A and B are shown apart, each in its own frame.
Chain A
Amino acid sequence: MTTATEKLELFEVFVRSKRGLDHKHIGSLHAEDHEQALEYARDCYTRRSEGVSIWVVKSNDICASQEDDADCFYDPSDDKPYRHATYYVLPDPVNNM
């Protein structure tokens, strides 16, 4: 038997806590459509004015990298320590640049 929530779609919720900051993933919920998802998200995740803006995205629409593949996925950056500022040793008086 399928329950009611199984017929609903899963949405991921992103909340901007303050103007100027990025939206941050805060959780997910089931809803029948985008509009409802927004209202549920408001009721569920911003009851104490945690946000000034909410994004909802269908979970199915998110394409994610696989953590199991992380090693080879990010491997091209692993042997490039020179991309970091700390790699360069400069004389003390100018080392704050």
Chain B
Amino acid sequence: MTLPQEENFMRKISAEEKIEPKDWMPDAYRKNLIRQISQHAHSEIIGMQPEGNWITRAPSLRRKAVLLSKVQDEAGHGLYLYSACETLGISRAEMIEQLQTGAAKYSSIFNYPTLTWADVGAIGWLVDGAAIVNQVSLQRTSYGPYSRGMIRICKEESFHQRQGYEAILALAKGSEGQKAMAQDALDRFYWPALMMFGPHDSDSAHSQKSMEWKIKRETNDDLRQKFIDQTVQQIEVLGLEHPDKAIKWNEERGHYDSSDLNWDEFWSVINGNGHCNRQRIEHHVAAHEEGEWVRDAITAYNEKKRAKQTQDAA
């Protein structure tokens, strides 16, 4: 039997109305959203590490300032998303705890190492590029605070992708050695970028319910196809070789055909066995612990101020 409140909820969903924090919502909808939004927030935060690795070694002051700005934006994105998630009744501390114990996931792309400067370009271009495809679609998600967060984030993302492409273009048009470095970065990041869209729809545990509730608006495979299609010409303009030898325009489908992904690698990285899984979490824990004194100082300051106010009032 459907309760009237559940009927009302489903009516809003089918009328393309947003669900807002104080509305009634099914428990499973709330849980599903918390899982997805917190995972998204964690990705923004953990995603600062592979790029942060190159801030002190950027090849020029200009590239350094750009990279610093980009990483700073990602911290902001993490904040927007944690705040959106908090409207669902979970605390920031709980989310961080879940990240650090492994109960919550983040995008496995960030478990790949950044070996050369070209990787920073490849990340902006491909990783942020893939994230944009996903996030543009999520602007239409059914949960109001998540949707508004996505709109804000999408406005900021374009710079991320363009600076990455510009950086890798400079290498691709540079010396033989620089071009080889760009090709190598493309070869390593292309496949994990495609995996960012998640498993095939048929293997995705959360997909169907998420689509019904309009938390997700397009399937993993459709979004991935969009990204594959848009990337072909971008690789051509760079004058680099496409990492997928099977890439071929399919007139009938109006899309590129491509190789299937290495799903064993995908599941293995998700389950903790990527190159950097342990390092990423250890670094997060260390940074969090090193920041303890700042949080303590804020609390102490607040208490002192409150005590002074009560004293003044008395």
Task: Give me the interface of A with B, judged by CB distance under 8 Å.
Answer: 16, 19-20, 22, 53, 80, 82-85, 87-91, 93-94, 97
24 A-B pairs with CB atoms under 8 Å apart are A19-B17, A19-B144, A20-B18, A20-B20, A20-B144, A22-B148, A80-B69, A82-B62, A82-B69, A82-B163, A83-B69, A83-B73, A83-B159, A87-B162, A88-B163, A89-B166, A90-B162, A90-B169, A91-B237, A93-B233, A94-B233, A97-B158, A97-B161, A97-B234
Query: How far is the CB of A84 from the nearest CB of chain B, in Å?
Result: 6
**A-B interface pairs (CB < 8 A), number:** 57
Q: What residues of chain A lie closer than 8 Å to B163, measured between beta carbons?
A: 82, 88
- CB-CB under 8 A from A22, the residues of chain B are 148
Contacts of B73 in A (CB 8 A): 83
**Contact indicator B234/A19 (Cβ below 8 Å):** no
Shortest A73–chain B CB gap in Å is 18
Of chain B, the residue at the smallest CB distance from A92 is: B237
Residues of A within 8 A of B162 (CB): 85, 87-88, 90, 97
| Shortest Cβ distance from A16 into B: residue | B20
Contact of A19 with B18 at beta-carbon distance under 8 Å, contacts A88-B162, A90-B162, A90-B169 already known: yes
Neighbour of B165 across the interface among A20, A53, A83, A90, CB < 8 A: A90
Closest to A84 in B: B159
> 7 other contacts beyond A20-B144, A82-B62, with CB at 8 A cut-off?
A19-B12, A19-B20, A20-B147, A53-B20, A80-B65, A90-B169, A97-B230
Chain A residue with the shortest CB-CB distance to B167: A88
Instruction: Evaluate whether A97 and B165 lie within 8 angstroms (CB atoms) in the complex, with A19-B17, A84-B159 already known.
Output: yes
- Set of chain B residues within 8 Å of A80, measured between Cβ atoms: 65, 69
Contact B166 A93, beta carbon cutoff 8 Å:
no
Bound together, the chains give a CA A85 to CA B69 distance in angstroms of 12
Q: Which residues of chain B (38-90) have a CB below 8 Å from chain A?
A: 62, 65-66, 69, 73
* CB-based nearest B residue for A88: B162
Within 8 A of A (CB), among B161-192: 161-163, 165-166, 169
Chain B residues with CB under 8 Å of A91's CB are 169, 237
